C-alpha cells in the first residue's frame, strides 16, 4: 500500500483512500475510530457540580495560552453531545475514544457527583446503542485543581486518589466500556507540565518531571488492578506519545544524541511498563534527577497490559549539545503542519517495528492518536483539507507496513473528530476531520471525513 509523498510546495493528492488489496485496512477486525478529550471539547466548566481543573487555572493565567483562549466553552460538547455522536455514525466510525473529566465526577471529598456520572452514562449508552466500541481514558490531563493545590503529581497521595477515581468510574460504568485507558501521554503530563512549564500546572524543574512521571506510572499500575477487579470483561491499557529522533550527522556524538532523544521520549515510559525499570541512560541525560521509588513500585507499574496505545505525530532531527544531551536541528525544505511539526510517516513505522524488536512482551497496539493541524476554512460550505488527506493516507500506509513486518496493530484512531481547544495553542490549530465554527458551534464535515466515511462503507460491503 503505497501513497505518494508530498513535496514542498506541491499539492497533496485528494483521491479516495485506495489501499492495496492485501492492506490491513481492509480487515474488518482492524478497528477504525476517532478520538477526543474532555477538556478540549466539553466546555460547561462551571455546570452540574464540575470542579475547577488545572487547565481551567492555567488557561485563565495571562500569557499561558495563545490569544488568551480557555476551555470554558470549547466545542460545547457537554450540551451538543448527541449531535456529535451522530457525526460518528455519519462518518461510519467503528469506535470512539473519549476521556472522562475527573473534576466532573467527584467532589473534593471523593464522593460521586451524580450529574457528572449521568452525563457519561448517557453518552456511553448512546454509543453502545449505535454499535460503536468505546475506548475510555480516565486521565487526559485535567487534574482537579484541589489535588494540585496539595502537590498534584509531585504528591504520592495523588496516586491513591487516582485509584479511588478509577474504582468509582469502573464500578459505575462497567459494561459500558470496551477498553479502559488509565493515562493519556504521561510524557506530556510530566515533562510539559512539571519539567518545562509549557502545560498545566506550569512548573519547570526536571526533578519535578521525573517524580511526577513516577507517580503517574504508579497511578496507572494501581488503577489497572482496580479496573481488572471491577470490570473484568473490558481490556485495559495506557497511551504513550512516542517520538522518532534522528541524528543530524553520522558522528558518534549526534547518534548518541538521537538515542538519548528516544530514551527521554519513549523508554522513559515504556521501559518501566514493559521491563519494570527506568532506562539507565535517562540519568546520564538528567544526572541526579532520579525519583523516589519505594519497594514494590516497579512491580506495580509493570502490571501486564492488554494493549498499548501509541500516539504519533512527527519526527525530530537532533544533534549533540556538546555535553550530555541534545538540541533540535530542524531540517529545511520538508513538509510541515500548522504546528511546525515535520510530516514523517516512516517515523511511525520505524518506531513500531523498533518496539516490536525491543520488547518481548509488547502487547497488541492501537494507534490511539494520529493526525495533523492545518488552517482549515469553510468555503462554499466545504472544507478541502488536502494536506490532511495525504497525511492520513501516508500514516495509514506506514501502519500497514509495520503490520506486514510482524507488529500486532489492531486499530487506528484519527485525532481528532472535532476541531477543539489545542491546549497552549488555543483554538488557532485545527486537528479535526469535522470543522467547528467556535462562534456559532456549527459543525462542517471536512473532505478528509467524507473520504474516511466512504472507505469504511466500502470495507463493510467487501466480501
What pLDDT, on the 0 to 100 scale, is given for residue 6?
39
| Percent of the chain whose pLDDT exceeds 90 | 95
Cell 509523498 found at: 5
Average pLDDT along the chain: 95
Active-site positions read 185, 369
18 pLDDT tier (thresholds 50, 70, 90):
confident
* C-beta atoms surrounding 413 within 10 Å: 26
In the predicted structure, residue 393 carries a pLDDT above the cut 60: yes
| 40 labelled ligand-binding | yes
pLDDT band at 324 (very low <50, low <70, confident <90, very high): confident
200: three-class secondary structure by DSSP: coil
Mean pLDDT of 396-406: 97
Q: Which three cell numbers stand for residue 15?
A: 483521491
Q: Cell numbers of 40, please?
A: 478540549
**How confident is the model over 224-245, as a mean pLDDT?**
98
Using pLDDT thresholds of 50, 70 and 90, give the confidence band for residue 457: very high
* pLDDT greater than 70 at residue 12: no
pLDDT for residue 16: 59
- Three-state SS across 75-106? CCHHHHHHHHHHHHHHCCCCEEEEECCHHHHE
Helix/strand/coil for 171:
helix
Region 131-148 average pLDDT: 98
pLDDT of 404-453, one tens digit each? 999 999 999 999 999 999 999 999 999 999 999 999 999 999 999 999 99
Residue 5 lies in a domain: no
Helices and strands (H, E) in the chain, number of each type: 16, 13
Quote the longest CA-to-CA distance of the chain.
62
pLDDT tens for each residue of 35-94: 999 999 999 999 999 999 999 999 999 999 999 999 999 999 999 999 999 999 999 999
Span 218-230, average pLDDT: 98
Q: Which residues contact 283 (CB under 8 A, 6 or more apart)?
A: 289, 290
Characterize the bridge pairing of strands 179-184 and 133-139: parallel
Report residue 34: phi and psi, to 5°: -130, 155
Q: How confident is the model at residue 15 (pLDDT cuts 50, 70, 90)?
A: low
DSSP state of 430: B
To the question of whether residue 184 is assigned a binding role by annotation, the answer is: yes
Residue 364 located in a structural domain: yes
Residue 7 lies in a domain: no
Structural domain boundaries enclosing 439: 24-460
Task: Please tell me whether residue 342 adopts helix, strand or coil conformation.
Answer: strand
Q: Please indicate, yes or no, if residue 397 is contained in any of the structural domains.
A: yes
Q: Whole-angstrom Cα distance, residue 92 to residue 458?
A: 10
Instruction: Return the SS3 of 328.
Output: strand
pLDDT at 90: 98
- The answer to whether the CB of 65 falls within 8 A of the CB of 426 is yes
Is residue 16 assigned to a domain? no
**Any domain includes 1:** no
DSSP at 373: -
Nearest to 33 by CA among 414, 450, 431: 414
Mean pLDDT confidence for 114-132:
98
Residue 350 has pLDDT above 70, yes or no: yes
Chain centre to alpha carbon of residue 328: 23
Helix (H) or strand (E) segment spanning residue 257: helix 252-262
CB count in 10 Å sphere of residue 304: 11
Q: How many domains does the chain have?
A: 1
Q: Which helix (H) or strand (E) holds 173?
A: helix 157-173
Q: What integer is the mean pLDDT of 332-342?
A: 97
CA atoms of 225 and 182, how far apart (whole Å): 11
Is residue 14 over pLDDT 50? Answer: no
Note whether residue 9 is domain-resident: no
| Residue 5 confidence (pLDDT) above 60 | no
Q: What are the strands, taking DSSP E only, across 130-249?
A: 133-139, 179-184, 235-241, 244-247
Q: Is 344 annotated as a binding residue?
A: no
Establish whether 423 is an annotated binding residue.
yes
* Three-class secondary structure of residue 194 per DSSP: helix
Write down the pLDDT at residue 262.
98
Taking a C-beta distance cutoff of 8 angstroms, is the pair 430, 378 a contact? no
Pairing of strands 409-415, 365-369: parallel
Residues in CB range of 454: below 8 A, 6 or more apart: 16, 17
Considering the domain boundaries, does residue 265 fall inside one? yes
C-alpha cell at 247: 541524528
The CA distance from 311 to 414, in Å, is 10
Q: Tell me the pairing of strands 315-320 and 244-247.
A: parallel
422 is in an annotated binding site: yes
Residue written as grid cell 478528509? 448
pLDDT at site 319: 98
Kindly tell me if the per-residue pLDDT of 4 is higher than 50. no
361 is in an annotated binding site: no
What local confidence, expressed as pLDDT, does residue 19 receive? 87
CATH code at position 162: 3.20.20.80
Q: Which residues contact 250 (CB under 8 A, 6 or more apart)?
A: none
The C-alpha cell that represents 404 in the structure block: 506486514
Does the annotation place 290 within a ligand binding site? no
Amino acid at each position: 500500500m503505497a501513497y505518494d509523498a508530498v513535496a514542498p510546495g506541491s499539492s497533496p493528492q485528494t483521491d479516495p483512500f485506495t489501499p492495496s488489496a492485501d492492506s490491513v485496512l481492509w480487515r474488518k477486525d482492524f478497528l477504525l475510530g476517532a478520538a477526543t478529550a474532555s477538556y478540549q471539547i466539553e466546555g460547561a466548566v462551571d455546570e452540574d457540580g464540575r470542579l475547577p481543573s488545572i487547565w481551567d487555572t492555567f488557561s485563565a493565567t495571562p500569557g499561558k495560552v495563545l490569544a488568551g483562549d480557555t476551555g470554558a466553552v470549547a466545542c460545547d460538547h457537554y450540551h451538543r453531545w448527541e449531535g456529535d455522536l451522530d457525526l460518528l455514525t455519519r462518518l461510519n466510525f467503528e469506535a470512539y475514544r473519549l476521556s472522562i473529566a475527573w473534576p466532573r465526577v467527584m467532589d473534593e471529598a471523593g464522593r460521586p457527583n451524580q450529574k457528572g456520572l449521568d452525563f457519561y452514562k448517557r453518552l456511553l449508552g448512546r454509543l453502545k446503542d449505535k454499535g460503536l466500541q468505546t475506548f475510555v481514558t480516565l486521565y487526559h490531563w485535567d487534574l482537579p485543581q484541589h489535588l494540585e493545590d496539595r502537590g498534584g503529581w509531585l504528591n504520592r497521595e495523588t496516586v491513591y486518589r487516582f485509584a479511588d477515581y478509577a474504582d468509582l468510574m469502573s464500578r459505575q460504568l462497567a459494561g459500558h466500556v470496551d477498553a479502559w485507558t488509565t493515562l493519556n501521554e504521561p510524557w506530556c503530563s510530566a515533562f510539559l507540565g512539571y519539567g518545562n512549564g509549557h502545560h498545566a500546572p506550569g512548573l519547570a524543574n526536571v526533578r519535578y518531571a521525573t517524580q511526577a512521571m513516577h507517580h503517574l506510572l504508579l497511578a496507572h499500575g494501581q488503577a489497572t488492578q482496580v479496573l481488572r477487579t471491577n470490570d473484568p470483561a473490558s481490556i485495559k491499557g495506557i497511551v504513550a506519545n512516542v517520538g522518532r529522533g534522528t541524528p543530524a550527522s553520522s558522528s558518534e556524538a549526534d547518534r548518541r544524541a538521537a538515542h538519548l532523544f528516544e530514551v527521554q521520549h519513549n523508554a522513559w515510559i515504556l521501559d518501566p511498563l514493559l521491563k519494570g525499570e527506568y532506562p539507565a541512560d535517562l540519568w546520564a541525560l538528567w544526572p541526579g534527577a532520579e525519583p523516589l521509588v519505594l519497594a514494590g513500585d516497579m512491580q506495580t507499574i509493570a502490571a501486564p497490559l492488554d494493549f498499548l496505545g501509541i500516539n504519533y505525530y512527527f519526527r525530530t532531527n537532533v544533534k549533540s549539545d556538546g555535553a550530555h544531551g541534545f538540541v533540535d536541528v530542524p531540517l529545511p525544505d520538508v513538509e510541515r503542519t500548522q504546528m511546525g511539526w515535520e510530516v514523517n510517516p516512516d517515523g511511525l513505522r520505524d518506531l513500531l517495528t523498533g518496539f516490536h524488536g525491543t520488547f518481548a512482551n509488547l502487547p497488541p497496539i492501537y494507534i490511539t492518536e494520529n493526525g495533523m493541524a492545518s488552517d482549515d476554512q469553510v468555503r462554499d460550505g466545504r472544507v478541502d483539507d488536502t494536506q490532511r488527506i495525504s497525511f492520513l493516507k501516508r500514516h495509514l500506509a506506514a501502519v500497514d507496513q509495520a503490520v506486514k513486518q510482524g507488529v500486532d496493530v489492531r486499530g487506528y484512531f484519527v485525532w481528532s473528530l472535532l476541531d477543539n481547544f489545542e491546549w497552549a495553542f488555543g483554538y488557532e490549530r485545527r486537528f479535526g476531520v469535522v470543522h467547528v465554527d467556535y462562534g456559532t458551534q456549527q459543525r462542517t464535515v471536512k473532505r478528509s471525513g467524507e473520504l474516511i466515511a466512504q472507505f469504511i462503507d466500502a470495507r463493510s460491503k467487501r466480501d
